Amino acid sequence: MKYVLALSDGTEVEVVEGQDVSDLLNIKRWVAEIPAELAGEVKGMFPSVIPKTDQERIQNLSAELEVWKTENLSWEVTEKLDGSSMTVYVIDGDVGVCSRNLDLKHNIDNSLWRAAYKHELPAKLAHSPINIAVQGELIGNGIQGNKYKMRDQAFYVYDVYNIDEGRYFTPAERKEFVTEHKLNHCPVLAYSAELVDTLGITNMDQILKFAEGKSVMGDITGPEREGLVFKCHEKQVSFKAISNKFLLKGGD
């Protein structure tokens, strides 16, 4: 969709929906407003030095998929858990906890901070030799309908980000980190698998079909899993495949 934008000098320009107009409007910095209902509970917005966790859907990567199939790359395949995004970080000795979009003030009554303490993350990260962010999913009682039928809540790691180097840990580095710090990891269905030779995936439909199945967090009558996340060992590339069965059931 096209729009006409009036500029301060009286001229008008035509722009399209989604276009970056910061240069046209001479915007140097924009700070999002914190929701009024969270006033007093939030330090600020999600730290800009940490990427937000949101994998690209494989449907948007058809050209890349064709290349990856020819490169004999190995992939870690994990179940995408359906919960609440959570990040615990340490920056220059300061430990913080974030929701998907917000940096939260220290509050033991907050479910994310409470989960961080349950897994001893503030203590484990406080003496880290590098600035680091541990990212994962908080699932369980009171979250997304508690589809995994858990009595409590638990934090499952799916990424570790080296803030100083501006890169994610490789699957091997993350596995070592999680093991060393005795943390939960999102379920790993395949640690090192090739798309074609190991998984038999040759096209988009097969990936989406492969994403379907029961969650390993429940029994055989448990919920449909949300999908799968693929992360490459050799490159900093990844993608998600969302289960069509999960979508058709409305996430139930």
Same domain for 206 and 115? yes
Token couple for 44: 């600020």
Note the residue count of the chain: 252
Measured in Å, how far apart are the chain's first and last C-alpha atoms? 34
Segments of 82-140 assigned E as strands = 84-91, 94-98, 102-104, 132-140
pLDDT of 32 reads: 47
For residues 61 and 83, membership in a common domain is answered with yes
- Do residues 23 and 104 both lie within one domain? no
- The CATH number of residue 101's host domain is 3.30.470.30
More reliable by pLDDT, 182 or 37: 182
- Rg, the chain, Cα only: 21
* 109 confidence band (pLDDT: 50, 70, 90): confident
What is the per-residue pLDDT across 160-200, written as a single tens digit (0 to 9) for each? 999 999 999 999 999 999 999 999 999 999 999 999 999 99
- Whether residues 26 and 52 share a domain: the answer is no
Query: How high does pLDDT run on average in the chain?
Result: 87
Query: Which residue, chain included where needed, has tokens 């990936």?
Result: 207
Rounded Cα gap, residues 140 and 95, in angstroms: 24
Q: Are residues 227 and 198 in the same domain?
A: yes
The backbone torsions φ and ψ at residue 248, rounded to the nearest 5 degrees and listed phi first, read -65, -30
Q: Are residues 152 and 195 in the same domain?
A: yes
Say what the pLDDT of residue 154 is: 95
Say yes or no: 63 and 90 in one domain: yes
Sign of the Cα torsion 95, 233, 190, 146 reads positive
**Rounded Cα gap, residues 53 and 26, in angstroms:** 29
> Does 163 lie in the same domain as 53?
yes
Find the domain containing 26 and state its range.
Answer: 1-30
Residue 54 structure tokens: 């949101």
- Provide the domain count of the chain: 2
Q: Where do the H-state alpha helices sit in 102-213?
A: 111-118, 121-126, 171-180, 204-210
State the pTM of this model. 0.82
pLDDT, tens digit, for every residue of 57-95? Answer: 999 999 999 999 999 899 999 999 999 999 999 999 999
Residue pointed to by tokens 């209902």: 37
Is the domain of 42 the same as that of 152? yes
- The answer to whether 190 touches 204, Cβ cutoff 8 Å, is no
Distance, CA of 82 to CA of 148 (rounded, Å): 9
CB-count burial class (<10 Å; 0-12, 13-18, 19+) for 161? buried
Same structural domain, 128 and 230: yes
Say whether both 15 and 79 belong to one domain.
no
> What is the predicted pLDDT for the residue at 40?
46
What would the pLDDT profile of 199-249 be if each residue is shown by its tens digit? 999 999 999 999 999 999 866 667 899 999 999 999 999 999 999 999 887
Pair 84, 20 in one domain: no
Across the range 92-115, mean pLDDT stands at 93
Closest CA to 61 of 230, 250, 252: 230
